[in-house]
Structure 1
Amino acid sequence: MQAGDRIGDRYELTYPVGRGGMGQVWAGFDDRLDRPVAIKFLRQLEVPEDERETAVKRFRREARATARLDHPGVPAVHDLGVHGEDLYIVMQLVRGIVLADHIAEQEQLSVSEAASVAAQICSVLAAAHAASLVHRDLKPQNLMVTPSGAVKVLDFGVAALLDPAGASRLTAPGRALGTPAYIAPEQAAGRPAGPGADLYALGCVLFEMLAGQPPYQAANALDMMQRHLRSPVPIISGYRPDVPDDLAHLLYCLLAKDPSERPTSASEVQQILTSFIDGGSGSVRPPTGTVSNTRVPAAPLPRQSAGHETTELRAWARELAEDERYTQAAELLERVLVTADQAHEHESLPAEVAALRVDLANLYMLAGDFRRAGEAFEELAEVLDRSADSRELADDCRQQAAACRFAMGDTTVPARLGD
């Protein structure tokens, strides 16, 4: 590829931004909308043939995962396509400095600046975790600071939909996704990584911003993972005596070996961090976007759709799901169910409506929204309990709801659910 090449009959390459083992990132220009963009390519022919299918799935998943996050701290995804033998994602072009380079230049960031960067990362993580996404590879190389001081979280390329089964399909046996210097102990041990793994990585990044080096040093990746698993948690005050005790305690908790001993959420960590930003009232503030799972319901279909056309619409939704258009298929069934639920509001749940609701919950799971899927299965189980003929299906729904909780990192769920 070279400057001036056109991609998708609308994007013109301007200059290369970066290159990895399997791809390239170019700055470009969208001539239809008159705006600069970043174009990330997966060079399929440069991927070993036995890894190509996995790499393609991961690349597409990156586009979909990032596109789901409507947050100022995540670059917007504009397009996904194919150019010759290559796949590409068109994204917002972010201008600024990579956090790793910023730390290298400054050696150690001030307490206020480090808290500001970490708080903004927390804002992104809160949105991601609410959408059933965990980044799994948070590190200074995947973070950018813009000239205005805003932080952007990049590369959801290994972001796992909170789905241990899906993660195992996209990971080579015996391999842990993530970067060794920032990997959570549970990831290093090959166990499911929930939101707590991102908080651990955040702790590693915060430690590095304050100390000028990651919390652990090692000669190789295997030794590094062992240190995350077994070495005592380092105390930041031994590197930076000026770090306030409350911030040092927060950092110690973020780096806890056991996920249950870390803070409960990114939002909680963000709230604590804001008090260290210029005394809590400085000009540098994290984004204040709210996180919500609320969705505006689509307009209902005509009432006759709940009758003889329901089978056709259900088949249409399945066709969409086969094309991996899970969100679109779910929205279709939501519209069908608005009418169907109204038609049977004061009756026991008909079998065809129950089947539609099971399909919808399954689509949420396929789309990676395990929070909504679990809620849908639980609600359906409660309705089905009213009918003796539906107890078996109700039990199945509860099993699925429990599987969703397990997928979101609830370790209290019995292991047999994963069998």
Structure 2
Amino acid sequence: MNNSLLDAAERLKIGLLAKATDGEYPDPDYKEDLRILSTDNELNMMLPAFIRLNRSSSDFRRAMQTKFKGYAERRNFIDQELEPIFKYLEKYPSDKFEINIDAYELGEQLGNGGFGVVYKYHHKLLEVDFAVKIFEPVFVSNDDHIEGERRFFREAKMLFQLNSDYIVRVYDIGRIDGKPFIRMELVEGDTLLDFISQNGSVSFTRSIKPITAILKGLNYAHKMGVIHRDLKPSNIMVTKDGKFKIIDFGISAFLENENHTKLTKTGERVAGGAYTDPALINDPRLRDIRSDLYSVGAIWYYLLVGRSPVGGDARRVLLQSGNATELQSDIIFKCLTSDPVDRYQSCEEILAMLYPKEIVSSLPSAITMPNRITEITREAVFDYLTERYYDDCNTYVFSQSGAYQEPERVFHYYGKRNCVTFLNRLYDLENMPSRDSRLKTFKEEIQRHTVANEDYQYDWIFHDESLGLVAGNDEVLLKFLCEMFHPLVRSEKSDWQSVKESINELIKIDGYEIYESEKISGRSVFSYQYCI
């Protein structure tokens, strides 16, 4: 990829506009962009006098403040002074950006639109397929074409910075036969639009996986300063192995300082439609991450209903679908509210509402899981497990072989393991200090006071402060409960299914449920989630 001169010129212009209108343009960035531009002799001679006279961006700001009082005057001055540079770059020899086309074999056309065409290309040496997006707009004037190319490369530059499992990867940009291109990861599969059209709507529980992927991808992009602004089911790919990736940041834009000029013409338009934020349609220059959150809500609705959220009966249709409860509908329609102030303010906020264990662990440490399980619920859970342990523990029945056996309804939290082995799956017992001065570790303390003590009380574990089950955060208790039903722990001969159902009845009052998250060797493994 060799578009460093154009990139440097764009950064210089954006940075100078920012600095002139009280924004930021760090001196190291200013000097680096000038250094890149100076590598071309002709371009170096074209640098405006005001740049040569000001050795730092701070010097430039002071000069602008002295010469021009208003922001508009400063912007016009910068535009006029830098115009020759961009005209020169427009005519820059195209072979300096050309792809080595001989290394590729042209494949099928994958798509087309107002921007141009997407083809499948096969790299002969790497034996890898790529998607190549070639910019070839129709029905545009020469000036619009030039501006379009600039926007095309700006889009590519933004995408090149994004490296997420949930966003299609950009590998290279340049020109093919003089036409700009972006070489991207080829995602094999269907769009979310086609997937739902072919398979039908899904339940709220099943919708969590694609929505989580979309939110994680957007959250990463937003932190990198990129907004999608055109998110819809056709821009989400469902891969053959069941993963989800965001594609086509077609009209995305850097988050910018509101005090300086946007990277768009005043007349910029957006496609609109049922998945686009109405605020964005009314003001195409809007740069707000909450526009993407509106689109998330609209896509979420589509997953549950199979159509976009249009019409005054949208909520009624969602509820009648049977795929969402009233509370779940509230979450979706909070995304869809017309005023961005009333929406969720970030992807992280929505992710924190869902609370599967794997999501919480992947979020920044600033996002913590609030405690919703009350003391009453905790005691009810402990009482139930204690009762199931002692039920008929001293009453024996005959097996067919004539031997005594315990009734199947007895349930031990540690299942096939012993107490210490089970707790070691959840806690680092060797590094937990003992409260008994005679012992070094908490593991030794457990062995001394429980395993080696025939009349110890089984329910000690629920009330021991070191384990944090009685007064710790929700996650500690929920992990403990899920671990009881792990295939390596539970006794298949026990009535563990009914125990799980009973536990769910108790914790659902506070909004949680234990659910099957995956299968290992054909056996169910459980996690927990917040049931909105």
User: TM above 0.5, one fold?
Assistant: yes
Equivalent in the alignment of 2:135: 42
1:170 aligns to what SS in structure 2?
coil
- Given that 2:301 and 2:318 are in contact with CA atoms closer than 8 Å, whether structure 1 keeps it comes out as no
TM-score w.r.t. length of structure 1: 0.57
- Could you report, residue by residue, the CA deviation over 1:311-346 in whole angstroms, capped at 9, with x for unpaired residues? xxxxxxxxxxxxxxxxxxxxxxxxxxxxxxxxxxxx
Residue of structure 1 equivalent to 2:171: 78
Runs of 4+ in 1 over 3 A off after TM superposition: 6-9, 44-48, 164-169, 231-239, 285-292
Match of 1:261 in 2: 342
Q: 1:233 deviation in Å?
A: 7.2
- CA pair 50-288 structure 1, distance change in 2 beyond 3 A: farther
Please state how far the C-alpha of 1:186 moved relative to its aligned partner: 1.8
> 1:10: Cα distance to partner?
2.3
Indicate how the Cα distance of structure 1 residues 44 and 240 shifts in structure 2: closer, same or farther if over 3 A, else same: closer
Paired position in structure 2 for 1:203: 297
Do the aligned partners of 2:272 and 2:281 also contact (CA within 8 Å) in 1?
no
Q: Against the structure 1 CA distance between its residues 167 and 157, is the aligned structure 2 distance closer, same or farther, given a 3 Å change threshold?
A: farther
Which string of whole-angstrom CA distances, capped at 9 and with x for unpartnered residues, describes residues 350-400 of structure 1?
xxxxxxxxxxxxxxxxxxxxxxxxxxxxxxxxxxxxxxxxxxxxxxxxxxx
Moved more, 68-77 or 23-32: 23-32
- 1:245 is aligned to 326
Deviation at residue 113 of structure 1 after TM alignment: 2.7
CA contact (8 A) 1:160 1:167 kept: no
Q: 1:22 aligns with which of 112, 115, 120?
A: 115
Aligned residue for 1:102?
195
**What's the counterpart of residue 380 of structure 1?**
none
Cα distance change, pair 32–95 in 1 and its aligned pair in 2 (3 A): same
Q: Is the 8 Å Cα contact of residues 73 and 121 (structure 1) preserved in structure 2?
A: yes
TM-aligned CA deviation for residue 32 of structure 1: 3.9
Deviations 1:177-212 (A, max 9, x none): 243211213212216231111000110111111111
Q: Which moved more, 1:107-116 or 1:254-263?
A: 107-116
CA distance in 2, matches of 1:20, 1:73: 23
Give the conservation status (yes or no) of the 8 Å contact 1:247–1:273.
Answer: no
For 1:288 and 1:85, locate their aligned partners in 2 and report how far apart those are by CA, in whole Å: 47
The one-letter amino acid paired with 1:43 is: E
Q: Determine what percentage of the aligned residue pairs are the same residue.
A: 27
Q: Which runs of 5+ in 1 are unaligned?
A: 1-5, 218-230, 293-419
Q: Note the C-alpha offset of 1:82.
A: 0.7
Selected match of 1:155 from 239, 248, 257: 248
Query: Residue 123 of structure 1 contacts residue 266 of structure 1 at CA under 8 Å; is this kept in 2?
Result: yes
Please name the residue that 1:55 is paired with: 148
**SS at 2:345 equivalent:** coil
Q: Distance in 1 between matches of 2:364 and 2:159?
A: 15
State the partner residue of 2:270.
177
> Per-residue deviation at 1:55?
1.6
CA distance in 2, matches of 1:46, 1:29: 30
Contact residue 8 and residue 81 of structure 1 kept, 8 A: no
How far 1:165 moved relative to its partner? 8.0
CA distance in 2, matches of 1:166, 1:210: 41
Aligned residues: 265
**Equivalent pair of 1:39/1:91 in contact (CA under 8 Å):** yes
| Native 8 Å contact 2:117 2:133 kept in 1 | yes
Superposition TM-score, scaled by structure 2 size = 0.46
Which structure 2 residues correspond to residues 10-409 of structure 1 after superposition, within 5 A?
10-43=103-136, 47-163=140-256, 168-171=262-265, 173=267, 175-190=268-283, 192-216=286-310, 234=315, 237-273=318-354, 275=356
* Alpha-carbon distance between aligned partners in 1 of 2:317 and 2:260, rounded to the nearest angstrom: 36
Tell me the amino acid that sits aligned with residue 200 of structure 2.
E
CA RMSD in angstroms, aligned pairs only:
2.8
Residue pair 2:114, 2:137 contacting (<8 A) in 1 also? no
Please give the secondary structure, in 1, of the residue aligned with 2:274: helix
Please tell me whether Structure 1 or Structure 2 has the larger radius of gyration of its CA atoms.
2
Contact map agreement 1:205 1:214 (CA 8 A) in 2: yes
Corresponding residue for 1:372?
A: none
Question: What is aligned with 1:221?
Answer: none
Give the secondary structure class of the aligned counterpart of 2:297.
helix
> Structure 1 14/60 Cα, relative in aligned 2: closer, same or farther at 3 Å?
same
Q: Is the 8 A contact 2:348 2:363 kept in 1?
A: no
Q: CA deviation at 1:168?
A: 4.9
